[in-house]
């Protein structure tokens, strides 16, 4: 898969494709329906598929402190789109200039001049352009004038409600990982490269693999029983904390710290996937490191009991 970093990196060879555009946070079952339609049309027309993403997300640009937590980092999203079979991702920087571009100008600049779009499939609730005035109907009319077809996908339902990133965030906040998995189509996980930290866990006898979350806010907070993929040839088990380590008080942004049971190899700079299975407790501030160590021992015992190891 090719990642095109910005409109200025579009080349003549990128013209002539089928396109979708959206946040795709979580790449959940609703998103997958859109992507599946795009891939089918790409095969029919023998054209590459392109997904257009914005960084930062518009809501993060306008109100970073009030924007909902991301289900995925940008890197996780690109990998998920690649694995689903998308050929290209066009990352467009969302800034003041783009926010003030009219919907018509956006379609002209990106769809017509930049990509030479031949077909587009979008969610039935999409909005774009200044003041979000662009919608499916406008895109369809512009497409008819310029020779490309625009279709929408109906909302994918789970129970009586539409599948959405908002529903998944609510399930994660409630630690309902079974519901989140139904909506996503796969277990919820966080992936990343293990970074070199302060090695505090090692000094208190509980070494951890620390991962940056690469998002303004995390959709989870607390201590969890987790599965870890990427540390060994098989899936391993452990406990993970997502938070700011309030007992130590040395973090302003949340990180993920995973302790893997019966594992002592060096994991620095390795990519891990941490799958969340059960919430054990909320993150809390303890009176001392000794009290924290006692609680960590209880957390590990609870994690082992959950996995029956």
Question: pLDDT per residue over 64-123, tens digit each?
Answer: 989 999 999 999 999 999 999 999 999 999 999 999 999 999 999 999 999 999 999 998
Task: Give the residue-averaged pLDDT of 160-184.
Answer: 97
Q: Is 216 exposed, middle or buried (0-12, 13-18, 19+ CB in 10 A)?
A: middle
Task: Give the residue-averaged pLDDT of 255-269.
Answer: 95
Q: What is the pLDDT of residue 51?
A: 98
Token pair recorded at residue 54: 């914005």
Task: Give the residue-averaged pLDDT of 215-232.
Answer: 96
Name every residue whose Cβ is closer than 8 Å to that of residue 178 and which is 6 or more positions away in sequence: none
**Which residues partner with 90 through β-bridges?**
4, 52
d(CA 58, CA 67): 9
Q: What is the pLDDT of residue 101?
A: 97
- What sections of the chain are H helices per DSSP? 29-45, 58-62, 74-84, 96-99, 103-106, 136-146, 165-173, 177-184, 200-203, 289-307
Name every residue whose Cβ is closer than 8 Å to that of residue 96 and which is 6 or more positions away in sequence: none
Predicted confidence (pLDDT) at residue 198 exceeds the cutoff of 70: no
Q: What is the pLDDT of residue 205?
A: 75
φ/ψ of residue 193, rounded to 5? -90, 135
Task: Give the residue-averaged pLDDT of 21-40.
Answer: 96
Predicted confidence (pLDDT) at residue 155 exceeds the cutoff of 70: yes
Mean pLDDT over all residues of the chain? 94
Task: List the single range of 159-163, 200-204, 298-302 with lowest mean pLDDT.
Answer: 200-204
Global pTM?
A: 0.94
Q: How confident is the model at residue 199 (pLDDT cuts 50, 70, 90)?
A: low
Task: Give the residue-averaged pLDDT of 245-253.
Answer: 73
Task: List the single range of 84-88, 154-158, 217-221, 273-277 with lowest mean pLDDT.
Answer: 154-158
d(CA 302, CA 293): 14
């Amino acid at each position: 898969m090719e990642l095109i970093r910005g409109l200025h990196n579009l080349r003549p060879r990128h013209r002539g494709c089928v396109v979708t555009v959206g946040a795709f946070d979580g790449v959940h079952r609703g998103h997958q329906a859109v992507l599946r339609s795009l891939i089918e049309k790409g095969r029919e027309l023998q054209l590459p598929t392109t997904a257009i993403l914005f960084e930062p997300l518009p809501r993060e640009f306008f109100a970073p402190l009030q924007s909902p937590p991301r289900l995925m980092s940008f890197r996780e999203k690109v990998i998920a789109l690649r694995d689903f079979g998308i050929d290209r991702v066009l990352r467009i920087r969302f800034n003041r200039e783009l926010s003030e571009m009219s919907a018509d100008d956006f379609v002209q600049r990106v769809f017509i001049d930049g990509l030479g779009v031949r077909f587009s499939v979008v969610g039935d609730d999409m909005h774009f352009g200044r003041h979000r005035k662009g919608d499916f109907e406008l895109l369809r009319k512009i497409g008819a004038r310029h020779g490309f077809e625009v279709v929408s996908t109906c909302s994918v339902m789970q129970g009586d409600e539409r599948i959405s990133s908002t529903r998944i965030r609510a399930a994660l906040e409630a630690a309902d990982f079974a519901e989140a998995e139904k909506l996503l189509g796969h277990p919820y996980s966080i992936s990343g490269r293990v970074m070199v930290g302060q090695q505090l866990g090692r000094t208190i006898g509980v070494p951890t693999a620390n991962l940056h979350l690469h998002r303004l806010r995390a959709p989870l907070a607390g201590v969890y029983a987790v599965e870890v993929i990427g540390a060994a040839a098989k899936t391993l088990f452990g406990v993970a904390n997502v938070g700011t380590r309030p007992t130590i008080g040395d973090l302003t942004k949340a990180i993920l710290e995973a302790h893997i049971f019966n594992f002592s190899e060096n994991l620095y700079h390795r990519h891990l996937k941490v799958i969340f299975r059960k919430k054990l407790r909320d993150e809390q501030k303890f009176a001392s490191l000794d009290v924290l160590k006692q609680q960590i021992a209880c957390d590990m015992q609870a994690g082992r009991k959950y996995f029956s190891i």
